[in-house]
Structure formats: structure tokens, C-alpha cells
Structure 1
Amino acid sequence: MAQLEAETTKSGIDAIDRKLLRALQEDGRMTVQALADKVGLSASPCLRRLRQLERDGVIAGYSANIDQKSVGLPVSVFISIKLEQQRARNLDVFGAAISRWPEVMECYLMTGQFDFLLRVVCADLESYELFLRERLTQLDGVAHIESSFSLGAVKFSRVLPI
């Protein structure tokens, strides 16, 4: 028991929780019994730990990883955005606007030359042009937009190195 306590991190996650999280990242659809077998617990304590990780927000949700090409969205565009002013209100307004757009898969507030980095998916060049013209360029306060088209993913992972 002392070893488990020593392995608990600042976040309260111990070695067994880490095993559980790694296993779920590999296969989020495994049964509680299969998960328990994989981490060396019986089903009841495994389920209790799982529910606690969910309550604590460590497990933020469950989803399926969909291949974007298979659903007609083969184009990924990385867009760097520079705002006219970097005041909190301007950052919030921009963030709220792009949060409503389903094409925006990810958005990060950045340091450096640009204020935001977005990853947008679309069907083709024409649909990206429509997104650019009818959405991005219509936002007040945008000073500069730079688009970079992905030629292909070298690595894409949602598995955290825990």
C-alpha cells in the first residue's frame, strides 16, 4: 500500500489509475471486466476507480475516432490568426465565435507571432474558401489570416503518454 501511495502524483492519480487510463485510451469500448483483468483488479474496485476518474474530470468523456477522409472531409487546414488587439474581450469574442463553427476541430490561444492556431476540416478547396469568406473574414478584429494546408498526417494521436 505504501508503494501505491508513493506512486500517487500531485493530481491524485496512482499507478493503477494510470494503467486504467492507458488501457482505456487503447480501447475505450472494453468491458469493465476486461479492463479490470488488464489492470489487475476485480470488476467492482475497477468500476469504482473508473467512476471516480469520471467524477474528477480526468476522464472527460468517451467518443469514437472517425476517419475524416471516410466521411468526405479529407482537407485539414491549419490557420494562424492575428487579432488587431490582444485585449481579453477581443480574445473572448473571437473564441466564442469560432467555438460555434463545426469545421473548427481545434483552436489554441498562442504565444508568439499569432494569437490563435486553428485546425479546420473541409471537403475541398472550394468549401474552405467559403468558410474563409463567409466566416473568418467576417469577424471584427481579425488583422491577419494565414492558412497552411496539410499534405498528410505523419502522426496523429489522442493517446496521452501517461
Structure 2
Amino acid sequence: MDTTDQIILNILSTNAKASLKTLADACHLSTAAVHLRLKKLEDQGVLTGSQSEINLHQLGYQTQSFIGIYFDRANMYQPVKKALLAIDEVVECYYTTGNFSLLVKVICRDNQHLTEVLSGKLQRIDGVARTETFICLEQSFSRAVKF
């Protein structure tokens, strides 16, 4: 990966919809050359997709939380992970070191919805001993990694 690839990745990390022309102008290349570089980055597995940011509050999802999940047995990672994939409100899942085994990000309409997800879904998964919930009051910032 060279400086030109880094420029492309930095632009795309802040604007996934950046046009080939925008990328080409920033790199001082033709759009065809940028297209080839994008293809190469995709083939290498560096670029794996693109996303649009959605304002969840505008859609009625007011409660964001992080939930630490404790296993009742050490070998429960795979089955618990599979069960979590079936819960739409769980949008991110991390296998961690530290006090809990998994850390998940959960998006809900409100606290009542969160309660339903916790008691009706998460805590009923075989292998989950207990959970610890942290409700996010405000997301201070989110940023892409600079290359």
C-alpha cells in the first residue's frame, strides 16, 4: 500500500460515497487509474464494503447500550455468538479479555425495549450466566482511523 492508496482510504473512510472524480483529483490520477486501485484494494480484502450513516434517533431508536456478557462455561463463545446473530437489536459483538467474555452494542427504541431485549432474549441464551448493561447517554464522537 502506498501514499496514493492511503489518500483513497482516508477519503473513503470519511465519505463512502466519494466519486471517482473526487478520488482522482485528490490523487492526481485519472478516474480509470483510481478505479483499478479500488479494485486492487477490494481484491486484497482491504476494502470490504461501504456504509451510509443513519440517524437512528430520527427513526425512533433512542437507547444505545453496551452490554457485557458473562458465560456460565468457558467454551460457550461459538453458540452464544450464533444466538446473538439472531437478535436484530444486537448490532456489534466483540470477544474480549477482561471481566466479561463478550461486549455487545445494542440499539433499542427506548428503555422498555431494552428491558425486553435483555430479559426476553439475551439473558435466555444458553450459556449466558449474567449481563452488565451500560446505557450510552451521548456519543461524544466517532471517527475513522487515519492511514
Cα displacement (A) at 1:26:
2.1
SS state at 2:58 partner: coil
Question: Partner residue of 1:79?
Answer: 67
Question: Partner residue of 1:156?
Answer: 142
Please tell me the residue identity of whatever aligns with 1:126.
Q
Distance 1:148 1:34 in 2: 40
Question: Partner residue of 1:29?
Answer: 17
Cα displacement (A) at 1:100:
2.1
> What TM-score does the superposition give when structure 1 sets the normalisation length?
0.86
Residues 28-47 of structure 1: matches in 2 within 5 Å?
28-47=16-35
Cα displacement (A) at 1:114:
0.6
Paired residue total? 147
Q: Percent identity?
A: 29
Question: Partner residue of 1:124?
Answer: 110
Distance 1:143 1:25 in 2: 38
Distance 2:66 2:19 in 1: 37
SS state at 1:143 partner: strand
Structure 2 residue 97 is matched with structure 1 residue 111 = yes
Larger Rg: 1
| Deviation by residue 1:114-155 (Cα, 9 ceiling, x = unmatched) | 100111010111111111121111111111211111111112
Distance 1:73 1:156 in 2: 18
SS state at 1:49 partner: helix
Question: Partner residue of 1:146?
Answer: 132
User: Could you tell me which of 122, 125, 128 is aligned with 1:136?
Assistant: 122
